[in-house]
Amino acid sequence: MMYLGIDQSSELIYQGSSTFGACVVWPNPIVTPVSFVSTGEQELKLAKLGSSSDANTIFREDAFDPITRIRRGRFYSIASNGSTQEWQIIVVPPVQAFPGEINENRPDLARKTARTFYPCRVSTKISEAGGNQLLVALGTDQASTLWMVVNVETIHTGEELVTLKARQSFGVLPKIDWEQLPDKSGLVKGKIDELLNDVHRAGAESIVDRAREAATAILSAHLQSEGVAEASGKDLGALIDLLEKRNGKNSQRIVRCAAEIPQRLHSRVKHSEQEKHDNLRPIREQDAELAVQCIGVMLCDLGWGRWV
């Protein structure tokens, strides 16, 4: 089985066995601290990391496609019998052997100390998540991104090669022309800000909740600007009915349908709906992404935003 070692003095990365010999990985692969979180959590609890040297689990990137936002790589966790171990490293550039590091029996090997990581089985963590999807947070406290696990396969070394897809973040909503919004109280902006905040840190159910609140604020502001005074204080279902009553079934139909989606998805989170429908499937990451996209469609079709 392949182990990974990070030499904290030189920042070189070794692979192989810490006992029977290993080689340097060159060029240095991209290695990132990791936190595993479940979409079942209302708020994602990320590991508190100040730097990569604090990480107990890391992701080694093997491939990245910036167009599809797909990453492939392997996960490693810190060795249970101590994070720092001695390695026997083959002396080839850029490895340098200093006095006292050369193996007397094998002059081609040098003794190096490195933080040692063992292969991490992501498939086990997926099973432990139950019916929830597993998310991966890559990075430290200062900067991190969220990724969905979409595929896991075992390769010949016994490691698991994992395919990740980025959770949508930047560009998730259109460019909003705040001057066009008829709502001068700031309620719509506040609900949109809450939604964007949840996209970066919350579970799928919470994102759907925030999308429903944003749709309610948007539809209420629009109807009141059109002279529908009774829209004030109404929930989303009533606002959708008011929009259809005022415009008919075919006028602004996309806005109405886009508002209905987060409304319907939100109802699946309710305990009463889950008791009524035994086969009601849980909210997933893709549902949350759809709900957010619906908010973008509403903003664009009302003339308050545009996709860039």
Tell me which of 128, 144, 166 is where a domain ends. Answer: 166
pTM of the predicted protein model: 0.68
Residue 133 pLDDT: 79
Domain assignment of residue 237, given as a range: 175-306
Q: Are residues 86 and 205 in the same domain?
A: no
pLDDT band, very low/low/confident/very high, at 2 (cuts 50, 70, 90): confident
pLDDT over 80 (residue 167) = no
Cα–Cα distance for residue pair 34/138, rounded to 1 Å = 5
Section 148-176 average pLDDT: 86
Cα–Cα distance for residue pair 253/108, rounded to 1 Å = 73
Question: Are 295 and 218 a contacting pair, CB within 8 Å?
Answer: yes
Residue 4 pLDDT: 93
Q: Are residues 84 and 213 in the same domain?
A: no
More reliable by pLDDT, 284 or 44: 284
Question: Are 18 and 10 a contacting pair, CB within 8 Å?
Answer: no
Residue 168 pLDDT: 64
What secondary structure does DSSP assign to 59-75, as a single string? Answer: EEEEEEETTTTEEEEEE
Q: Are residues 205 and 273 in the same domain?
A: yes
Structure tokens belonging to residue 181: 């919004």
Structure tokens belonging to residue 13: 């990365």
pLDDT over 70 (residue 277) = no
More reliable by pLDDT, 215 or 45: 215
Instruction: CATH number of the domain at 214, please.
Output: 1.20.120
What secondary structure does DSSP assign to 226-289, as a single string? Answer: TT-GGGTT--HHHHHHHHHHHH-SSTTHHHHHHHHHHHHHHHTTSHHHHHH-TTPPPP-HHHHH
- Kindly report, residue by residue over 73-132, the tens digit of the pLDDT: 999 999 776 678 889 999 999 999 888 899 888 889 999 999 999 999 999 998 888 767
- Kindly report, residue by residue over 169-206, the tens digit of the pLDDT: 545 789 899 989 998 788 999 999 999 888 877 888 89
Sequence-separated contacts (24+) of 40-45 with Cβ below 8 Å: 40/129, 40/130, 40/131, 40/132, 40/203, 40/205, 41/203, 42/202, 42/203, 42/205, 42/206, 43/201, 43/202, 43/203, 43/206, 44/135, 44/137, 44/146, 44/201, 44/202, 44/203
Cα–Cα distance for residue pair 224/220, rounded to 1 Å = 6
Q: Are residues 86 and 188 in the same domain?
A: no
Q: Are residues 10 and 157 in the same domain?
A: yes
Q: Are residues 290 and 152 in the same domain?
A: no
Structure tokens belonging to residue 234: 């109404």
Phi and psi of 99, rounded to 5°?
Answer: -50, 135
Section 283-302 average pLDDT: 93
Q: Are residues 147 and 187 in the same domain?
A: no
Q: If you ran DSSP here, which 8-state letter would residue 120 be given?
A: P
Residue 169 pLDDT: 56
Residue 213 pLDDT: 96
Q: Are residues 157 and 243 in the same domain?
A: no
Residue 172 pLDDT: 78
Domain count, the chain: 2
Of 84, 74, 277, 225, give the one whose Cα is nearest residue 159.
74
Q: Are residues 128 and 188 in the same domain?
A: no
Q: Are residues 87 and 235 in the same domain?
A: no
Tell me which of 142, 166, 190 is where a domain ends. Answer: 166
Question: Are 75 and 57 a contacting pair, CB within 8 Å?
Answer: yes
pLDDT band, very low/low/confident/very high, at 7 (cuts 50, 70, 90): very high
Q: Are residues 18 and 85 in the same domain?
A: yes
Q: Are residues 245 and 266 in the same domain?
A: yes
Instruction: For residue 173, count other CB atoms closer than 10 A to its CB.
Output: 20
pLDDT over 90 (residue 263) = yes
Residue 40 pLDDT: 62
Section 222-239 average pLDDT: 94
Tell me which of 131, 166, 201 is where a domain ends. Answer: 166
More reliable by pLDDT, 53 or 162: 162
For the chain, give the mean pLDDT. Answer: 87
Q: Which of 26-35, 148-157, 267-276 has the lowest mean pLDDT?
A: 267-276
Residue 216 pLDDT: 96
Section 234-255 average pLDDT: 92
